[in-house]
Amino acid sequence: MSARHILVINCGSSSIKFALIREDREDTLLSGIAERLGSAESELRWQSGEQQHSLKIPHAGHRQALEQLLPQVQQHADGKLSGIGHRVVHGGEHFTAAHLLDAAALAAIRSVSALAPLHNPACLQGIEAALGLYPELPQVAVFDTAFHQSMPAQAFRYAVPEQIYREHGVRRYGFHGSSHRFVGRRAAELSGLPVNDSSWLVAHLGNGCSTCAIVNGQSRDTSMGLTPLEGVVMGTRSGDVDPGLHLYLGRKLGWSLQEIDNLLNKQSGLLGLSGLSNDMRTLEQARSEGHAGATLAIDVFCYRLAKSLAAMSCALPRLDGLIFTGGIGENSPLIRSQTVAHLPLLNLAIDPQANARSVGGQFGEIQAGNHPRILVIPTNEERQIALDTLALLPD
């Protein structure tokens, strides 16, 4: 059988990110984004190898953008696209794994939309457009939350009355599942350990950030919760705050829930602390020039990240290694060393030279001497989504 090709799609309300993956190749054959959909400025941009392309598609919606994209995809897939994998943010408790898209699955995704009111309806728009264009092609939904459905109740329940959980789904779900799953498996492979007898801490540090405890290939705890706002400090998201903060701001400033939500999701995190930027590269540069806000943002980021990792260690029987991934985790020796410096009680220590070398999408083992492994592993969520899709294709 010739190698199969999967198109991975990640839809937002006005964008579609895409990647074409071939099962036997690590690199991406074609990737890009359709942006500002629904406006006069709609544009499709894609790249294959070194070549960049763009196409204005004024007033295109999701369906029209996919129509423009698919001939490119077919050309790069030698006319043999085997399936489409859709990233879906929230699968609630309904989905514990990826799922072939049929009418029942679509209804179930719709039924959990209240848990992700911005994201799931956007995903559904893309799914419906793709199903309309390719009704005969197998299509699969891969959920950010599904990997974490293996968490035990002691990790996923909030200490609120049972009824709020049972009737309204208020519990911890976790996100970034495809990334945590991908790097957890890769860590076991690279370390020569069986996936089903291995035990990892993961720090996924991108614009959104989360930590995870993975035991025997399964998530046992993670830092994000009901929404992707809980947990560690992120680019513009606060992570954990006192739940009394909403009431305090409401009373003191007369702010609406919408305004408070905007503050915590869009104006906080690294951006709020530094008063400068949500981008770690900018902050590292400013810190080296003595910028107090950037220095504080990095200090809080690393300390809180270390606290979260220490908390995640409660879910592990032993520690086979700590994994850094995501744009910051893969590229920032400073953040890795400053975080690990807070974790001597886990016996973690970094080799400065190995740490400095492991940047730019390189795998690296960066622990000092005989200390527990610290691994830098480039994540590849698109590939994980493609692998999950391939696993569900009919023979």
313 or 331: CB nearest ligand ADP: 331
72 or 331: CB nearest ligand ADP: 331
From the candidates 144, 221, 320, 388, give the one annotated as an active-site residue: 144
Q: Which residues contact 117 (CB under 8 A, 6 or more apart)?
A: none
Q: How many angstroms separate the CA atoms of 303 and 325, rounded?
A: 17
82 or 332: CB nearest ligand ADP: 332
Flag whether 234 is marked binding.
no
Using Cβ positions, the residue closest to ligand ADP within the complex turns out to be: 327
Q: How many angstroms separate the CA atoms of 29 and 6, rounded?
A: 10
- The reply to whether 144 belongs to the active site is yes
Q: How many angstroms separate the CA atoms of 160 and 166, rounded?
A: 11
Backbone angles phi, psi at 261, to 5 degrees: -60, -45
42 or 332: CB nearest ligand ADP: 332
Q: Which amino acid does the sequence have at 299?
A: D
Residues in the chain: 395
Flag whether 56 is marked binding.
no
16 or 280: CB nearest ligand ADP: 280
Asked if 323 contacts 184 with a C-beta cutoff of 8 angstroms, the reply is: yes
Q: Hunting for tokens 């790097």 — which residue is that?
A: 183
Q: How many angstroms separate the CA atoms of 205 and 198, rounded?
A: 22
Residues at the site binding ligand ADP, with contacts judged by CB under 6 A: 206-208, 235, 279-281, 284, 326-328, 331-332
Flag whether 327 is marked binding.
yes
* Min dist. Cβ of residue 222 to ligand ADP (A): 16
Flag whether 331 is marked binding.
yes
Q: Which helix (H) or strand (E) holds 285?
A: helix 280-288
Flag whether 172 is marked binding.
no
Directed axis angle between helix 333-340 and helix 292-312, to 10°? 60
Instruction: Of 129, 149, 173, 118, give the one whose Cα is nearest residue 18.
Output: 129
225 or 327: CB nearest ligand ADP: 327
Residue 256: count other Cβ atoms within 10 Å of its Cβ. Answer: 11
Flag whether 224 is marked binding.
no
* Min dist. Cβ of residue 234 to ligand ADP (A): 9
Q: How many angstroms separate the CA atoms of 386 and 77, rounded?
A: 14
331 or 389: CB nearest ligand ADP: 331
* Min dist. Cβ of residue 296 to ligand ADP (A): 16
Flag whether 328 is marked binding.
yes
The DSSP bridge partners found for residue 48 are 51
* Min dist. Cβ of residue 97 to ligand ADP (A): 23
* Min dist. Cβ of residue 111 to ligand ADP (A): 27
* Min dist. Cβ of residue 344 to ligand ADP (A): 24
Q: Which residues contact 214 (CB under 8 A, 6 or more apart)?
A: 180, 181, 184, 198, 199, 200, 201, 202, 220
Q: How many angstroms separate the CA atoms of 22 and 371, rounded?
A: 37
- The alpha carbons of the chain give a radius of gyration, in whole angstroms, of 21
Flag whether 280 is marked binding.
yes
Flag whether 41 is marked binding.
no
Q: How many angstroms separate the CA atoms of 272 and 274, rounded?
A: 6
Q: Quick one: 369 exposed, middle or buried, by C-beta within 10 A (0-12, 13-18, 19+)?
A: exposed
* Min dist. Cβ of residue 377 to ligand ADP (A): 13
Binding residues for Mg(2+): 10, 381
Binding residues for substrate: 87
Binding residues for ATP: 17, 204-208, 279-281, 327-331
Binding residues: 10, 17, 87, 204-208, 279-281, 327-331, 381
- Residues designated as active site: 144
